[in-house]
Structures are given as C-alpha cells and as structure tokens.
Structure 1
Amino acid sequence: MPAKIPATVVTGFLGAGKTTLIRHMLENAEGKRIALIINEFGDLGVDGDILKGCGIETCTEEDVVELSNGCICCTVADDFIPTMESLLGRDNPPDHIVIETSGLALPQPLVRAFNWPGISTRVTVDGVVTVVDGKAVSAGQFAHNVAAVDAQRKQDENLDHETPLSELFEDQIACADMIVVNKADLLAEGEADQLRARLKAEARDGVQVVTATMGALPVSVLLGQGVGAEADLEARHEVHHHHHDHDDDHDHDHEHAHGHDEFESFVVERGEVADASAFAEQVSEVIRTHNILRLKGFASVEGKPMRLTLQAVGPRVDTYYDRPFGTEPRSTRLVVIGEAGLDAAAIDAALKA
C-alpha cells in the first residue's frame, strides 16, 4: 500500500503572515512538489494570485487550488473533499499538500475531515501550524487590526459573530503542533522570549514554538512533523464552534533576509547502541534538555541486522527498523536541527554517552 501523502494545515488570523510564510516555503521547497489549497473568502482571490504569480517552477498553476465559497469548515463535503480527491487522483500527485485556511476557520473541523472515507487511506495531517502576529499578541491583541478581522467575520452569515476573538485564538493554539511567532523582528529580545514561554504554557505538551521574521522558516522545520493529527482530535479540544476571515497579509517587499541563519543543523556520529528503547529514551531526554526542534537519522543496534530509523519532533521519538545494513558500515548517524545557539558540543557528548 503506498504511503499516505502528508498535508500541513496553516492557520492564523488576518495579518499574521500566513501567505508570506507559504510563499517563502514555496520559494525554498528544496525540490519538494507542494500543492496548495487556499480557503479564500468572498471574491478576493488575492492569496491565489500572489502565490500563482510567484514564478516558482516547483509550484505550477495546477498546484494552486482556491476554495472561495466561504469557510472551509462549513463546506467540507462540497468543496474540500472533492478538491483533495482530485489532487490525490493525479498521475503525478504532489509530495506534500499545504492548506492555508482563512483566518477565522476553525482548524479542528478541517483536521476531522481527513477521516472521511474517500481520503483517509491516502492522506494524513502532517501537522497544524498556527501563525501569530508576535507584536500584536505581545500587546494583548490577537491581530494587528482587530476591527478588520471582525469586519471579515460579519461578511459570512455561516459564522458565529458573538464569540470573542480571544476564544478563536485559543482554538488555533489548542489545535497547533507548531506555533510560529511571526514578525519577531518587531519584538525586543526579552519580549520574544516571554511570549514564547506564554504560548508554550498555553499549548499542549510537546508543541513547538518558534520565532520568524517575514515567515522565513526552513522547509525542514515546517514540514515533516509526521503527527497524524486526524487520529489525535481528543487532545485538540475546541473552545467553541464556528467562524471566519480573509487573509490580507501580503508584504510585497521580498528583498528580505531569509532568516535561515536563525536555524542550524549538524550531524552526530557514534558507534552501535546496546538497546533501542533505552537509546530512544536517551534521545528524548537530550531533546528536552537542549530544546532541539527535530532529530532524525539511523542507528545500528547490537545484534540486529536491520538499521533502526529514528525521527523525533520535539520530545516524541518514533523508531522502526527499515532495512538491512548490507555492506555499509554499522554506525549511528543523527541530524540535529534547532534554532541558532544550540550547544553542539554538549549535545554531541550527550548523544554519545
């Protein structure tokens, strides 16, 4: 049976920077073929035009699909499922699907839709990424222009217009696997750290909180979380139900620094490990201690002919035996990815201990 195609859901209020983040991801896709579903609201196909016009060869016109019949969580059966089926049914299906929700659409009903019979065996939710406007949230607002968000909401009669925006924000945080504090360049150093700590405390265990400027995050950080969120809905409780908005956060100044120097990765090599589960526990502990975002690679386990593959997102470590070593040397090789400033020597020592 072919592996399921991973899909990432990107959510966040108007002005948080979802479109900028996605555009940056497409421009730096590292060869991945990414298809994009955009939940535009109303007749303003702005996001689609911006992303279709990005001139990126990995992202063709047919790879960008717009759903503009109102909130995606209200039109799952009519709009979303047929769109997914047509993407999955292509002769040359995408490597990854990214769904940009309109900012007031709840992520939870959309994640639930991945359990629909027509698509559940073919696609999985790799992770939910919630983008927040760091400056606005730090100042106690949920969006740079709260009046604009509310005006958007009033345009969709399907939505509950009474729920405070603070509750919609809580839903987006409750569903997130990764929270991106965008516009970090507008925050003082201490301010960014305080906001990250606050959001980490409000989110579920193991949710990663990263900072970004102009949405510039490496594709290796955003994609490949492997969460399978559709099987984990209980943990992503909804504070209430039903909403909506249109995303107008297009910074046309793309001559910016690509904040990848804020991230680093390095390789740790060591000899065989004695016990696979003890090693996975050791890896998890090192990740917690050093705030590592991702860790992946393979290990040689004493007495086992097969190679042990490890993949960790936050403190959750998944392992499985993938194939025999054959003639290659029996060694252990791990790639560590994190924000700049990781103590590489300490991590290296701890993983070799």
Structure 2
Amino acid sequence: MQGQKIPATVITGFLGAGKTTMIRHLLSKADGRRIALIVNEFGDLGVDGDVLKGCGAENCTEDDIVELTNGCICCTVADDFIPTMEKLLDRDEKPDHIVIETSGLALPQPLVAAFNWPGIKPRVTVDGVITVVDSAAVADGRFAEDHERLDAQRRDDDALDHESPLEELFEDQLTAADLIVLNKADLIDDTRLEAVRSDVAVRSKRSPAMVTAKGGEVPPAVLLGLGMESEADIANRKSHHERAHDAAHEAGEDHHHDHDEFDSFVVEAGAIADPDRFIEQLKSIISDHDVLRLKGFADVPGKPMRLVIQAVGTRIDSYFDRPWSVGEVRGSRLVVIGLHDIDKSTIETAIRQAAGG
C-alpha cells in the first residue's frame, strides 16, 4: 500500500524564512515530475500563490496550484484542507507529488494528523515535513532566549510561566520537522551558523536532519523522497498547543488556539515611480513599526513586468517576476503582517506616501 500512495511534502517555517523561494527552485529542477501545490496564505492577498504561478515551470501548471486563503491551515483542516485534498486526488490526471506550503503562522501538527483521515490515508502519505529557518534572523537573536533572566522573571511573576507565541510557534515548527533547512546561511559567517545550528537543535525534542542553503536552493533529491510517513509518527510531534490542550483536558478546562497575537492587512499604493527610493523608505517604515513581514507586488511605470517585494524585518528582496497579463489591472498591493497591536492606519498612510513620493 505504501508504494501506491502519492507522496506529499509539507513545507513550513516562520514568516519570511524562504519557503516560496525554495519551492520555486524545486519546481525549476523537478525534471518533468508533475507536482501539485497547495499554498496557504495568512492575509487577504494570495501573494505566494501568484509568485508560484509566475514561475513558468512546465511540470506545475496554474491548474496544479490551489490556494487556501480562508485562514491558517491548522485551524481550517476539516473545512478547507481535507476537501481540497480529496478533490485533488479525484482528478483523472493525478500528481506525482504534492507539495503543501503552510503559512508562516501555521502549526504543522494538525495538518500532518489530517493525513490519517479515512478518505486520504489510503491514497497519500506525508513523505516528509520540511521546516525552513531564516538563519540570519536566528543569528540576530530574534528567537534567542536568556534562560537565567527568564527563570528570574518566572519566579517573580506567575503570568510569565509560558513563553511568547512567536517562541512557541518556532519550536512547534521545528518539532514537527523531518528535515530542517537552515536557509540564508550565506548571510552569516561559519561561527554564527554553527551557533544557529546548536540553537535550533535544542529547540526540538526530536533530532531531524539539517542542511544549509542560500536563496532556498536545495536539490529536489534532498527535499523529496524522504519516505518518512510522518502521519504515523504524529504522537511524537506534539505542539505547545496540543500539550496545553492535553493538560487542560486533564484538569477539566477548555483551551483554544487562535492567532489573535497577529494581524495582517493589505495596502494598495498605486504606481511606484522610483522603486529604489520606495524600498529604502519601506525599511524605515518596517523598523519604526516593528513589521514582521511585508510582501506583495508593485507597478513600476514603463516596466512591462510586476515587481515582487519580499521583506523580512528590514531585509528586502525585489525582482521582476512576470509580465502583467492582458486585461490585468496594474497596481501595487502589499500584505503587512505584525503583532495584534500594529498601527494599521499609520503604516497604510506611510506606505502610500512613500509610493507617491
């Protein structure tokens, strides 16, 4: 039975780790293998799906890309993911491999568990869970912990008994992994990279393999064909949420998982006359307002192609990905993701002013 199942790879990782870039590279090197993609967005604008549709890979047509934009995939498994998988598996021309890109806010564990659903289990298996890590961000201390200080605070304040949601999310994604990709390794030196490797290793109770990468360039032979059947091992990959849920259940209490800690919104900014200047101003906006992630497209007058903008903190990448389609309305649209108290109105105004300046 195992040999007859379609393999599926779950690609997860924190906001801006490079998941979409890695998938684009995977598609370009797939050697004719028919790959179907399920892309889960956090926010209202399907940026990652559009970026992947612009990759031009013959082995992955636009019909092979399914976007789930109704919320975090870990919270909509029954309503969105399972029906999508069943529809994909019922096609006459079935894929050779399925790749699922989760949003940066998703818990991988509920998704992996969904592969035990009766309508899915006989036909598809999780070939492996791959967690992509932004090595440069980790090296900069975004997820570093001062254990002595934390212990002192815990002794003084019971309210600090749990770690922050970002910390828990990062660790949950590592705990679910069969393979960890330490991406953007070229942005730090060898000493800092080894420190990142050690930091990542102690955050998971399991011991998944690790590889380093720059620009998401990992050979398909490394990513595909792991043969892990991860859904059969789900009990060993419990998230913080699941452990808290188990503890609450034993205590007779209710426990809910949501993403109230995060917020996202779309900014439409019109044409960008000077993209270099605009990007420099975006760096200031991101820094001033602690934006976690910014991504989207820009309309540059006189250019026949869309400009993709991808920002993680104040590191911003941009490139022209594809021509504007006939009949497509040109415009600049950016998704902004931050914590729940992010100043939406001020950021919207600043981005529009930067675009028009």
Q: TM-score, normalised by structure 2?
A: 0.62
Q: How far is 1:202 from its partner?
A: 3.2
RMSD (Å) for aligned C-alpha atoms: 2.2
Aligned to 1:168: 169
Go from structure 1 to structure 2 and tell me whether the alpha carbon gap of 1:85 and 1:13 turns closer, same or farther (over 3 Å shift): same
Alpha-carbon deviation of 1:172? 0.6
Distance 2:178 2:258 in 1: 21
- Over 3 Å counting, the alpha-carbon distance change for 1:243 and 1:8 in structure 2 is farther
CA displacement 1:47-82 (0-9 Å, x = unmatched): 111101111111101110000000111111111111
Is 1:182 aligned to residue 188 of structure 2?
no
2:32–2:58 Cα contact (<8 Å) kept: no
Q: Which residue of 2 aligns with 1:345?
A: none
How do 1:320-331 residues align onto structure 2 when only pairs under 5 Å count?
Answer: none
Q: Distance in 2 between matches of 1:5 and 1:204?
A: 29
Does 2:21 align with 1:33? no
Q: Deviations over 1:264-322 (max 9, x none)?
A: xxxxxxxxxxxxxxxxxxxxxxxxxxxxxxxxxxxxxxxxxxxxxxxxxxxxxxxxxxx
* Paired residues for 1:27-176 under 5 Å: 27-142=28-143, 163-176=164-177
Report what 1:239 is aligned to.
240
Query: Residues 79-121 of structure 1, C-alpha deviation per residue, up to 9 Å, x if partnerless?
Result: 1111101111111111110100011110000001111111111
Q: 2:56 is paired with a residue of what secondary structure?
A: coil
Q: Aligned partners of 1:7, 1:177: CA distance in 2, in Å? A: 13
AA partner of residue 185 (structure 1): D
Partner SS for 1:10: strand
3-state SS in 1 of match to 2:240: coil
- 8 A contact 1:105–1:243 mirrored in 2: no
**Structure 2 CA distance for aligned equivalents of residues 29 and 243 of structure 1:** 36
Contact 1:71 1:243 in 2 (8 A): no
Which structure has greater helix proportion?
2
Deviation of 1:195 after TM superposition, in Å, equals: 1.6
Deviation by residue 1:229-262 (Cα, 9 ceiling, x = unmatched):
100012112112535577744744499xxxxxxx
Structure 2 equivalent of residue 23 of structure 1: 24
Is the Cα contact below 8 Å between 2:42 and 2:105 reproduced in 1? Answer: no
Is the CA contact 1:38–1:100 (under 8 Å) kept in the aligned structure 2? yes
Between the aligned partners of 1:218 and 1:114, the Cα distance in structure 2 is 25
Change in Cα spacing, 1:254 to 1:235, as seen in structure 2 (3 Å) is farther
- Residue 233 of structure 1 aligns to a residue in which SS? helix
Amino acid at match of 1:16: A
Match runs of 1:308-323 below 5 Å: none
- Structure 2 unaligned regions, length at least 5: 145-162, 243-256, 265-292, 296-309, 312-316, 322-357
The answer as to whether partners of 1:133 and 1:142 remain within 8 angstroms in 2 is no
- What runs of 5+ residues in structure 1 fail to find an aligned partner? 144-161, 256-353
